[in-house]
A and B are shown apart, each in its own frame.
Chain A
């Protein structure tokens, strides 16, 4: 058995590296589309300023993209490096979308991104525009395939356990692609990316207007960001991925934990807006509840119940017991006793095999587990309510604040009144919010899946590689050191170019390159 410290360190490392990677991904997803929109406007209007916008925001895109690429490689390595049992156990299913992501998306985005930067003088305008769109399309396709993979971890459909190979194998690949958990996740994540990029452009443009520089450039960027951001922010909220939480038991448990839904209520369930959940007592102090709302959001109906945590725990107790039987039968099959009875019996219980494996945390002899161990395993199968309850609310709060600002910005832009200090200040100070929302959103989705790597199939503590603690100390400290240096460098460059603004293009017509009179006449 691998040590608990190795599992914990592996989890910390994976969480740290993927949260870090996810600082850059959303901006890439959204900014690539904004660049394509700006360049399309350039072609339609023929006005140079839109080309300048594409190139300037493209510069910032490049600085961000480089770190996204650098840290993305880590993710592909880490499945094998740190989660080798996971890689063996589900590689047959999980590996496929990753490989398809490479073939379909990475090639597209990486091949054309160079041409985006260096093809301005080498291509006719319309061809360059197509290149920009292909980059945007490629980045978004990569999000699709990685979320197909991730959706399968949340709600593993279309695959079955094979006792001869001791792993999960694909049965219906189309189920993976049309997995509701994956589809909702994809829409929610890319929309979050679009919101992030819009807030980024909105905030920086607001900064230029507050400073009174490059007004025409800033106002146009601001307007595009406001429109794009409003549409994106609305989608991210309306198509929030709560609606995907009705498929799969672990998704249901996650939803119940987010909402601190201790018991199943008669439908439609009420929504706990705020309160202080306490997992030991299984109650929420000072809860403010809004009737009906949770049932409507969660199930899109008024007659389907939302399962409460108590009821889920009750079910899981049974499933751990069934899982014990499955595990015992599996041992017999693995030891060569492949009688038709054993196989039939195993097939009856194998859907609970994962619950049986939870017992490995408490005993090596799973088939002989005691009642006390079974109770521990059942308790362990439940998500932690308090962290999920709060991170979810932080994410939602960020979303609604951004929505408010985007509505305001859109309205003001449409009547050509966006140059009011209060609005611009709100736009500027709002900039950290999309990142907070993205990171907390990641946390809710992935921490909420615990104790599983593959929901109901493979527990996290079994997924890790059999490494030594020292391996992990070395790698984790290496990542922390290197990533910190990278972040400092990236922020330094980013801030430098933001401060320079479009003057960094050296076109001779922006703030630091011209006199005050010229600048005024430009507006």
Chain B
């Protein structure tokens, strides 16, 4: 029913949907964890913040888990290169993410201040470190990753952990932290009241400005860093073999897609507009709209990175011809079709029951609520 080329594009989109799904749902969980030490002054206030995401964070994180699974199923070579190449960075992410289920479930099970204080730190790490590393990883994708393949398709990573920490990637890391923290702040604004809510409002203002400044800075920088482009003919429906093409690398190539399709400029512009709108809506107390608007800001920022790179998934910075692209790093036609149908059936079902759960759990978390549910709340 679908040809191979179309399916590859669909799967590029699906991966985007899952990543954005994670950024806008799991993103505010990570954001609230980043804000936890700054916005919660007392134990009860911190519990308000934790419980505002406590019942739903687990489902939100599955967007990330599923994005990982989908990457494995639809883009196995990209999964293999990214996960083995960024080995130590991902190890750190993993260790940080592990703090989350334990932090949420264990923190308030004992009254000891020291116990709770330590878990608060763990929860902060569990929010901050993954947010930072996801951004750093995206920055490195834009710069290109030092790997090459041999004739058996064995992957060799030629860089080091420290190489990941280049200035552009660190800037992307900061962008990721600030935009997820912003999203966390708009979420908390909806879910809390009183002092915490007022602190959130300040945070929204600061974080939205920081996010927009960094986004602009990164956008300017990207015109100077080297982008990639396929220069040989590459059949879009041939079996996946990343060794079959010629790639060019030079400054400004990441803008090529915008030159070819000027309409695409809408996407980064949307990022800026939504960022500004978030500030305005938050000021005018349209809190739910501000939350939606910060979600759209994130969506636009992630889409900007994706669209700039298309059709590249992971450019190879040294053996540039080995770069992984949408056309030569996917699964087989059969697998893409099967997974297409599974996704088309289950994703809407997931969205329906997730929305229902959010509706059941809607409403503000108050200090009184925590005091009344001292033994059952997180």
Contact = CB atoms under 8 A, between A and B. Distances in A.
B233 interface: no
Contacts of B95: 478, 482
Contacts of B241: 164-166
Nearest to B56: A114
B84 A465 contact: yes
Contacts of A96: 73, 331, 335, 338-339
A486 interface: yes
B334 interface: yes
A101 B69 contact: yes
B361 A475 contact: no
Contacts of B101: 65-67, 69-70
A91 B68 CA distance: 12
A12 interface: no
A61 B280 CA distance: 44
Contacts of A106: 62, 65-66
A332 interface: no
A58 B190 CA distance: 30
A71 B95 CA distance: 10
Contacts of B156: 466
A62 interface: yes
Interface in A3-35: none
Interface string B74-96: 10110111111001101100110
A84 B360 contact: no
Given A114-B54, A171-B334, A63 B66 contact: no
Interface residues of A, number: 76
B256 to A, nearest CB: 28
Interface residues of B, number: 69
Contact of B361 (A103, A118, A166, A169): A118
B248 interface: no
A461 to B, nearest CB: 12
Contacts of B354: 107, 111
Given A170-B332, A486-B102, A489-B102, A76 B357 contact: no
A500 to B, nearest CB: 11
B97 interface: yes
Contacts of B334: 169-171, 173
Contacts, number: 240
A122 B61 contact: no
A154 B241 CA distance: 27
Q: Which of A77, A111, A489 has the most CB of B within 10 A?
A: A111
Contacts of A467: 84, 87, 157
B109 interface: yes
5 contacts: A76-B68, A85-B155, A92-B73, A111-B357, A114-B59
Interface of B: 54-59, 61-62, 65-66, 68-70, 72-74, 76-77, 79-84, 87-88, 90-91, 94-95, 97-98, 100-102, 104-106, 109-110, 151-157, 239-241, 331-332, 334-335, 338-339, 342-343, 346-347, 350, 353-354, 357, 360-361, 375-377
Given A79-B72, A104-B342, A465-B84, 19 more contacts: A63-B109, A74-B98, A77-B90, A77-B94, A80-B83, A81-B83, A81-B91, A84-B155, A85-B154, A87-B72, A88-B155, A92-B331, A102-B65, A111-B357, A164-B239, A166-B153, A167-B76, A173-B334, A474-B88
